[in-house]
Amino acid sequence: MPVSTRSKAISQEQNGPNPNQKTRPPSYSNQEDSKMNVPLRNPHHGLKEKMKALTLLYEQQKKSSSIFRNPSPKPEEKRFSTHPSADLLNGCKREDKDSKETKEPKQNNVMRENALPTLHSANPSSTVTRTFVLPEPPVDDAKENLVMGPDRVIGFLTCPRKTKDSSTVARKLSMGSSVSQTEPRGFIRPKNVQENEKLETVSEKNDAGGSRILVFVRLRPMAKKEREAGLKRLRGRHFTFDAAFPDSASQKEVYSTTTADLVEQVLQGRNGSVFCYGATGAGKTYTMLGTVENPGVMVLAIKDLFTKIRQRSCDGNHVVHLSYLEVYNETVRDLLSPGRPLVLREDKQGIVAAGLTQYRAYSTDEVMALLQHGNQNRTTEPTRANETSSRSHAILQVVVEYRVRDNSMNVVQRVGKLSLIDLAGSERALATDQRTLRSLEGANINRSLLALSSCINALVEGKKHIPYRNSKLTQLLKDSLGGACNTAMIANISPSNLTFGETQNTLHWADRAKEIRTKACEAQEEIQLPECETDQAKLLLEVQKENRELRVQLVHQQQKLLSLQAQLLAANTSPTPPSITSIQTPPSTAIPEKRKAARPSFLGGKLFHTRIEKKRRRGSSRQRASADCQGIGGRN
């Protein structure tokens, strides 16, 4: 500003002084000044005047703006009123410089929503601005999805609470044009994923009072037929999930990334569920059960569970119970002991199948045998889409109970439940078989999956009523979806463009499921105080002791009674019976006089005499009989 004024002043000087020169009103700008084209008498004098006027103007404006903001400002506050952050905080009019600074925090905010935490924490200079201008939104409310461009790009990024660098892993999955025969673009090697996922343990997710469902995607390898059919390039659409497994991913990689953490949590008394979702033939059963050479999540989880139990067996008792059921055509059936359909009931533990067999398992081998037995009972049929298509939803439940005495001799009991679910494949009626039973099965499968999608929708939209009751499957999954449970979903997809629609549908629901938050999963732990137990034990011992003493007394009394009866009998038969009063009653059995009279006792009452009389008669008849016998014998 002074420079331009000086140059103007010089040019004005060169043009000669203007006698009509007037002191400019302070509100004039430099441009207006130049337009007026009024030469100054003394350039230095004019400059000084201008400086003064402008300083005055600046002071006035500053005063008025501070009064506008704060009617009674304290001198200290006034000092800081020009701080950009304070200006932004108060929302007053900004100058160009300030407006530049306001743009910066906005950018920061966008980054906070969408970029990895390291990105916004990498700029220490913006700390002040962030603190005052746009405080970081609470994690729960933070929107994690980003929509970009005409093709929807959904960026699901790591939990914003994480501070570790995960920028190396863009967990993004591309569909359509990205499908290639070798490794589809966007698929991330689980090695990287694992490194990243390790950061996000289930327990960490729980501290905010609830955890979101972790969603993984697994691509199966191309089948021969599909390869022959070739590939068709389609317009791309991008999804991002917690991890995406390429067709080369091993079963162990899938297990350790998706389920291993949940197994650990179950041992600590929390509930966990893993379910495979996807179109028919997409690889759900392969992921869950696997083959003998390549066992799947169910088998690996059981193995891991028993290994962990063995490692910890020195400090407590673990009891493992197992149940395996299927939902077939809207009926619940026990796979371990098939019989009549089971009825679902809701109790304190949640939805339970009444009468479901709970097997106690002691080793991995035993569980394997049970699993095999259960799978033989499972309904699978060949369809056009899959040779061994599962026509039912199968749920393996493993309940781990742990009892241990702590240092204070309290009994600590923890119960955790792991549910491993292999859903039947969603399918188009035409894609499978047209036969009546198959189409009925297909309709029921689709119906339950539709009910599942309605529940997912309701949960994502935060509705009060979640329609779990619409199908048996959703009733059984109630805990996994909306309960206190750590849940992982594995969406299985096929690389074939023949199933593009189904794959798109699977990814759509998987993407939606990411937004579901389950309730806080507290460890189910009970502590029993030792006093209670010892008190009960003491009481039991006392009762047992008393019981023993009473038995001894009873035997004693019976003996005495017998001897008394014998004496009486002898007295009755003898010519001079001893007086009854002379018979000494032991002090312990002495009966008070009053009671003696009141009780219908056989000692002095009618009953006693009647019996004695009967015995006497019997005795005399026996004597007669023996005499008769002797007579007969003598005769012989």
Ligand X SMILES: Nc1ncnc2c1ncn2[C@@H]1O[C@H](COP(=O)(O)OP(=O)(O)OP(=O)(O)O)[C@@H](O)[C@H]1O
Chain residues binding ligand X by CB under 6 A are 220-221, 278, 280-286, 386, 388-390, 424-425, 492
Distance of CA 569 to the CA centre of its chain: 82
Question: Which residues contact residue 437 at a Cβ distance below 8 angstroms, ignoring those fewer than 6 apart?
Answer: none
- Cα separation, 318 vs 413, in Å, equals 10
Beta bridge partners of 243: 216
Shortest Å distance, C-beta 425 to ligand X: 2
- Cα separation, 336 vs 356, in Å, equals 9
- Cα separation, 313 vs 402, in Å, equals 10
Shortest Å distance, C-beta 282 to ligand X: 4
Inter-residue contact 146 to 116 (CB < 8 Å): no
Closer of 249 and 367 to ligand X (Cβ): 249
The DSSP-derived string for 404-423 is EE-TT-PEEEEEEEEEEEEP
Where b means 16+ CB within 10 Å and e means fewer, 139-171 reads eeeeebbbeeeeeebbbbbbbbebeebbeebeb
Inter-residue contact 214 to 242 (CB < 8 Å): yes
Closer of 394 and 418 to ligand X (Cβ): 394
Shortest Å distance, C-beta 175 to ligand X: 18
Closer of 280 and 453 to ligand X (Cβ): 280
Residue where the block lists tokens 């501290």: 207
Shortest Å distance, C-beta 136 to ligand X: 40
> Can you state the angle between helices 43-69 and 2-14, rounded to 10 degrees?
150
Tell whether residue 354 is among the known ligand binding residues.
no
Closer of 46 and 283 to ligand X (Cβ): 283
- Cα separation, 636 vs 358, in Å, equals 76
DSSP 248: T
- Cα separation, 486 vs 493, in Å, equals 23
Closer of 253 and 334 to ligand X (Cβ): 253
Residue of 177, 242, 188 lying closest to 216 (CA atoms): 242
Stated as kind and residue range, the H or E segment containing 190 is helix 190-199
Closer of 421 and 516 to ligand X (Cβ): 421
Closer of 114 and 383 to ligand X (Cβ): 383
Residue of 97, 96, 95, 70 lying closest to 81 (CA atoms): 70
Closer of 21 and 379 to ligand X (Cβ): 379
Shortest Å distance, C-beta 176 to ligand X: 21
Beta bridge partners of 239: 173
Shortest Å distance, C-beta 268 to ligand X: 30
Closer of 158 and 386 to ligand X (Cβ): 386
- Cα separation, 606 vs 620, in Å, equals 21
Inter-residue contact 201 to 473 (CB < 8 Å): no
Shortest Å distance, C-beta 499 to ligand X: 11
Residue of 449, 468, 478, 488 lying closest to 280 (CA atoms): 449
Closer of 50 and 284 to ligand X (Cβ): 284
Tell whether residue 244 is among the known ligand binding residues.
no
Closer of 37 and 388 to ligand X (Cβ): 388
Shortest Å distance, C-beta 378 to ligand X: 10
Question: Which residues contact residue 170 at a Cβ distance below 8 angstroms, ignoring those fewer than 6 apart?
Answer: 188, 240
Closer of 226 and 261 to ligand X (Cβ): 226
> Can you state the angle between helices 297-312 and 251-258, rounded to 10 degrees?
60
Shortest Å distance, C-beta 488 to ligand X: 17
Tell whether residue 285 is among the known ligand binding residues.
yes
- Cα separation, 152 vs 532, in Å, equals 62
Instruction: Count CB atoms within 10 A of the CB of residue 229.
Output: 13
When computed from its CA atoms, the radius of gyration of the chain, rounded to whole angstroms, is 45
Distance of CA 93 to the CA centre of its chain: 49
**Amino acid code (one letter) for 394:** A
- Backbone phi, then psi, for 279, in 5-degree steps? -70, 165
Shortest Å distance, C-beta 438 to ligand X: 11
Tell whether residue 279 is among the known ligand binding residues.
yes
Tell whether residue 451 is among the known ligand binding residues.
no
Stated as kind and residue range, the H or E segment containing 219 is strand 214-219
Shortest Å distance, C-beta 502 to ligand X: 10
Residue where the block lists tokens 């999540």: 297
Q: Which residue is nearest to ligand X (CB)?
A: 425
Shortest Å distance, C-beta 386 to ligand X: 4
Per the annotation, binding residues are 278-285
Per the annotation, binding residues for ATP are 278-285
